[in-house]
Amino acid sequence: MATKKSQTRTAKNMRTRVTHEFPALFDDNSEVLLLGSIPSPKSREQGFYYGHPQNRFWKVLASVLNEPLPATIDEKKAMLLKHYIALWDVLDSCTIIGASDTSIEDVVPNDIASLLAQTKIKRIFCTGATAHKLYEKYCEAATGIKAVKLPSTSPANCAVKFEKLVEAYKAIQSV
């Protein structure tokens, strides 16, 4: 008989089809695009990007942009748009095990070229190696823009210290 713990572990290890549930964040003035891979289970639960409480994305951006740490989704959106930053993910859907980017398969990319056509975006940054690899494979030819790979702010990437993340993410400010 399976224990509750082993049932949970098994459920976490199951491959699931995930479809992006919320829109890209951008406006007519957006100049920089930050791309993740696909929202994590915690992000999908919260209905917005980088929703895992241990993910350092919002803390890093607040530090880089010299802004207070945003607490609500509306505050997060306002902070990004104030600094001409758009936010989306490379993938519209994929199969994935839990939140493990390394398990991503069967991908359907987002139409990033269409987003670029609606904005002033000329620079793209990927928030992690998997997002960067997926962007290069599925989107770069259509956009004509090479993306810069930033280190992941995920709790799984805890080897990279906060200060190093802030230093790396300062690149989004350079014009």
> Does some domain include residue 118?
yes
> Does some domain include residue 168?
yes
> Does some domain include residue 9?
no
> Does some domain include residue 125?
yes
Question: Exactly one of 13, 55, 110, 157 is catalytic; which is it?
Answer: 55
Return the HEC string of the chain.
Answer: CCCHHHHHHHHHCCEEEEECCCCCECCCCCCEEEEECCCCHHHHHHCCCCCCCCCCHHHHHHHHCCCCCCCCHHHHHHHHHHCCEEEEECEEEEEEECCEEEEEEEEEECCHHHHHHCCCCCEEEEECHHHHHHHHHHCHHHHCCCEEEECCCCHHHCCCCHHHHHHHHHHHCCC
Q: Of 48-52, 101-105, 115-119, which gets the smallest average pLDDT?
A: 101-105
Q: Pull the structure tokens for residue 3.
A: 């224990």
Domain count, the chain: 1
pLDDT, residue 100, reads 79
Query: What are the tens digits of pLDDT across the range 124-144?
Result: 999 999 999 999 999 999 999
**pTM across the whole model:** 0.89
> Does some domain include residue 8?
no
**Using CA atoms, how far apart are residues 106 and 43, in angstroms rounded to an integer?**
21
> Does some domain include residue 7?
no
Residue 55's domain spans which residues?
14-172
In whole numbers, what is the pLDDT of the chain averaged over residues? 90
Is 55 a catalytic site residue? yes
Q: How confident is the model at residue 51 (pLDDT cuts 50, 70, 90)?
A: very high
> Does some domain include residue 102?
yes
**Using CA atoms, how far apart are residues 118 and 98, in angstroms rounded to an integer?**
33
Q: What is the CATH number of the domain that holds 21?
A: 3.40.470.10
